[in-house]
Structure 1
Amino acid sequence: MSTSGPEQSHQPSAPSPQSTIATQEYRFSVLLIDDQLVVQEKIRSAVRPETDIDFHFCGKAADALAKAEACRPTVILQDLVMPDADGLDLVRQYRSSTLLANVPVIVLSSTDEPLIKKDAFLAGANDYVVKSYDTIELVARIRYHSRSYINLLQRDAAYAALHESQKQLEASNAELKRLTHTDGLTGIANRRYFDDYMKQEWLRAQRDKTPLSLLLMDVDCFKLYNDTYGHPAG
């Protein structure tokens, strides 16, 4: 487990949506937003034995969004009531952030009031835990939500990689078609393209019962061009 506080600039090896599956090392990373030191120490102690979970905390609501965007956690533990802000307002800020929109948020509250739970989920929370929680259960929830989020990142990375491969394949096919139908010397359509196009127009003329005309032209002294620059490939 690694930890950081407001005074530290440590950056965790947290997942990034722009990273590829092949290069990204995904780790569980929890960010606690809570102004109470006793809560910070309780959760820090619970996470400390978990060597694959990075722990970070922020004690000021005003710094919460910037801290979360900087350390990119796989789950945020958000205190419901803080001296300088409403915890649900922070949840809404996370959901409005491009970097944090899909990061799971667990609201920590001292009340089990159903209406408050409802408001938390409407604000965008993924889970709600009353502060009399058992730390073993809390760590299990951290793992569950972190794993779900990492699965989402991996899926999105796979889709992005597939989309990029499709774009490259389409570009390669377009280039191959261009090379197949283009004369290497002059850069204009070659005999193969003429044959295909002529067949298409012939069939169109038969179908529409319309005449088909062909204009044949020759370029004077083109042999000199060929002898100087090489003969056409197609």
Structure 2
Amino acid sequence: MKADAQESQSLVLIVDDEPFIRLILRHFLEREGYQIAEAQNGIEAIKVFKQLHPDIVLLDAIMPDMDGFECCTQLQNFDCSKYTPVLMVTGLEDQESVDRAFEVGAMDYVTKPVHWAVLRQRVKRLIQQSQLQQKLEAVNVELQRLATIDGLTQVANRRRFEEYFNQEWQRMKRDKRPLSLILCDVDFFKLYNDTYGHRLGDRCLQEIAKAIKDIIKRPGD
């Protein structure tokens, strides 16, 4: 079964020092609908990784100059690797090698000679898990934003004010610096609301919030 439309846009980085292995992996994964990039050693893999930000890395464990274990360790240092799973492709399946693969950050492994049905499912599963993780984190970020933003004015709500005030209080206390707090009151707002109605009253509050936001110049304000 071919990869679905979303997965077919995924870029797979194949890292192996043997040209024939790279060739058969490329042909197999291209038939599955994936885009392919290649590297012949760990040093080259790091350069390609930083340039292309692949969706998954198929990494040979045993290579000259920099083996797959060291390469995987270094890949974890890049911010863009957060959502990029590493699938170790190795002829080693002793307990020590398997344990080491997971210790350096690999998400899974397949052994040589490659069982193609296993490779197909593991590549598909790892990419799906990565995509799901990204969606969940985006949703959590949005939920956190919604929980701290006033729906009408789109400025920080009381909950966020109290969190931030406490944070700044502790910071200024530690640095022995003063903390300034400005309290604003909207004069005659009840009269305005009663006269023009709640819809225009809401619009008035939105304009006041916008005016305050527009004069803020520093991130800490």
Shorter-chain TM-score: what band? 0.5 to 0.7
- 1:132 lines up with 2:113 in the alignment: yes
- 1:112 lines up with 2:109 in the alignment: no
Q: How does 1:72-111 map to 2 (within 5 A)?
A: 72-111=53-92
Task: Note if contact 1:79-1:107 (Cα within 8 Å) is conserved in structure 2.
Answer: yes
Where does residue 221 of structure 1 map in the other structure?
A: none
Task: Note if contact 1:76-1:105 (Cα within 8 Å) is conserved in structure 2.
Answer: yes
Q: Distance in 1 between matches of 2:154 and 2:129?
A: 37
Where does residue 149 of structure 1 map in the other structure?
A: 130
How big is each residue's C-alpha offset from its partner over 1:14-54, in whole Å with a ceiling of 9 and x where there is no partner? Answer: xxxxxxxxxxx773221111111111111111112222x21
Residues 1:173 and 1:124: Cα distance change in structure 2 (over 3 Å): closer
Pairwise CA distance, 1:189: 4.3
Q: Distance in 2 between matches of 1:150 and 1:188?
A: 46
The structure where helix makes up a greater share of residues is 2
Pairwise CA distance, 1:170: 6.1
5+ residue gaps, structure 1, are 1-24, 178-186, 194-234
Where does residue 187 of structure 2 map in the other structure?
A: 190
Q: Secondary structure at the match of 1:48?
A: helix
Residues 1:57 and 1:166: Cα distance change in structure 2 (over 3 Å): same
1:49 paired residue among 31, 40, 43: 31
Q: Which of the pair has the greater relative contact order for Cα pairs under 8 Å at 6+ separation?
A: 1
2:51 paired residue among 44, 61, 70: 70
Residues 1:173 and 1:121: Cα distance change in structure 2 (over 3 Å): closer
Task: Note if contact 2:83-2:134 (Cα within 8 Å) is conserved in structure 1.
Answer: no
How big is each residue's C-alpha offset from its partner over 1:45-76, in whole Å with a ceiling of 9 and x where there is no partner? Answer: 1112222x211111132121221132222211
Task: Note if contact 1:43-1:135 (Cα within 8 Å) is conserved in structure 2.
Answer: no
1:32 paired residue among 2, 14, 21: 14
Displaced runs of 4 or more, over 6 A: none
Residues 1:188 and 1:162: Cα distance change in structure 2 (over 3 Å): closer
Q: Secondary structure at the match of 1:77?
A: strand
Where does residue 214 of structure 2 map in the other structure?
A: none
Pairwise CA distance, 1:144: 0.7
Q: Which amino acid aligns with 1:38?
A: F
Q: Distance in 2 between matches of 1:188 and 1:151?
A: 45
Pairwise CA distance, 1:141: 0.9
What is the TM-score with the length of structure 2 in the denominator? 0.63
Q: Distance in 2 between matches of 1:30 and 1:189?
A: 58
* Structure with bigger gyration radius: 1
Q: Secondary structure at the match of 1:125?
A: coil
Q: Distance in 2 between matches of 1:175 and 1:111?
A: 55
Task: Note if contact 2:57-2:85 (Cα within 8 Å) is conserved in structure 1.
Answer: yes
Q: Distance in 2 between matches of 1:175 and 1:80?
A: 50
How much identity, in percent, do the aligned residues show?
19
* RMSD between superposed Cα atoms in Å: 2.8
Q: Distance in 2 between matches of 1:102 and 1:96?
A: 12
2:141 paired residue among 140, 148, 160: 160
Aligned residues: 160
How big is each residue's C-alpha offset from its partner over 1:117-171, in whole Å with a ceiling of 9 and x where there is no partner? Answer: 1111111111121111212221211101011101111112222333444555368
Pairwise CA distance, 1:192: 5.2
